[in-house]
Amino acid sequence: MQVVILAGGFGTRISEESQYRPKPMVEIGGRPILWHIMKYFSCWGHNEFIICCGYKGYIIKEFFSNYLLHNSDITLELKTNLIEYHENNADDWKVTLVDTGENTMTGGRLKYIQKYINGDTFLATYGDGVSNIDISKLIKHHFYEDKIATVTAVHPPGRFGSLELSGSNVEKFTEKPLGDGAYINGGFFCLNTEVFKYIDGPETVWEAKPLEMLSQQKELTAYRHDGFWQPMDTIRDKYSLEQLWNSVQCPWKIW
């Protein structure tokens, strides 16, 4: 199944990094978070990607254009400019890079890549978040519910430690608990191609009118994921993900 990744936004909340590169190219452990997302899907058997580029999209194109070069041992004949590739460690991916416009909204980006979709169903996600979601179960849920769209419902990660007080005594301290029990849109969609008729044009925000209409028509189902999920919205999130990547058990590193 093809995987569509929204990777064209400005990433203003992480401007310390995004002023130089697209947000999906901000690195975790020396690799762009976009690579981590693709690697995760690949582990579930999904190796064909359509990347919706926008802001500084040429950086994403250059990364994949030189992917084989950066992941292989090579011999260069400088006079003839011939390159001999030896040990090749590049991933077996097919990547379609599409310039969907710098100012296009999320729905418009999806609409733009409609012509590259093969088949009736595809996966989609944002280019700035990682999770340990079971992709196979997400797909099974989508077909079982028989709706046009499935969204993964997740709990937002906590930002601050919580205190349970008794008078002036701290009875319990919990470091960064999850939110108040409510679910939010965690991305990781499974979609039928019928969703394209809910998107008007470049100005359409996917999370607004299309999802609202699908919900009203009872064509939007939620796959509940109570495990790990973490977006990279701020530089603080980047540092947190770096710590997890360097830990013994990184939640999304299943390869």
How far apart (Å, rounded) are the C-alpha atoms in residues 4 and 141? 19
Task: Examine residue 43 and state whether it is found in any structural domain, yes or no.
Answer: yes
- The pLDDT of residue 133 is 98
For range 5-30, the mean pLDDT = 96
How far apart (Å, rounded) are the C-alpha atoms in residues 151 and 153? 6
For range 132-156, the mean pLDDT = 97
Task: Examine residue 217 and state whether it is found in any structural domain, yes or no.
Answer: yes
Bigger pLDDT: 98 vs 172: 98
For range 212-222, the mean pLDDT = 97
Task: Examine residue 251 and state whether it is found in any structural domain, yes or no.
Answer: no
CA distances for 161 relative to 53, 167, 185, angstroms: 37, 18, 23
Task: Examine residue 255 and state whether it is found in any structural domain, yes or no.
Answer: no
Half-sphere exposure of 165 (CA within 13 A, CB side): 5
**What CATH number does residue 173 fall under?**
3.90.550.10
Global pTM reads 0.91
Task: Examine residue 57 and state whether it is found in any structural domain, yes or no.
Answer: yes
Tokens read off for 98: 């599409």
Which pLDDT band, with edges at 50, 70 and 90, does 159 fall under? low
| For the chain, percent of residues with pLDDT exceeding 70 | 94
Which pLDDT band, with edges at 50, 70 and 90, does 73 fall under? very high
Distant-in-sequence, close-in-space partners of 236: CB < 8 Å, separation ≥ 6: none
- CB 125 within 8 Å of CB 189: yes
| For the chain, percent of residues with pLDDT exceeding 90 | 87
For range 49-73, the mean pLDDT = 96
The count of structural domains within the chain is: 1
- The pLDDT of residue 176 is 63
Tokens read off for 242: 């770096």
Task: Examine residue 139 and state whether it is found in any structural domain, yes or no.
Answer: yes
Which pLDDT band, with edges at 50, 70 and 90, does 98 fall under? very high
Task: Examine residue 225 and state whether it is found in any structural domain, yes or no.
Answer: yes
Least confident residue range of 146-150, 177-181, 219-223: 177-181
Tokens read off for 73: 């041992």
Task: Examine residue 131 and state whether it is found in any structural domain, yes or no.
Answer: yes
pLDDT surpassing 90 at residue 170: no
Which pLDDT band, with edges at 50, 70 and 90, does 234 fall under? very high
Residue 108 belongs to domain spanning: 3-245
For range 161-190, the mean pLDDT = 77
Bigger pLDDT: 213 vs 168: 213
Chain mean position to CA 202: 20
- The pLDDT of residue 177 is 64
Tokens read off for 144: 């079982």
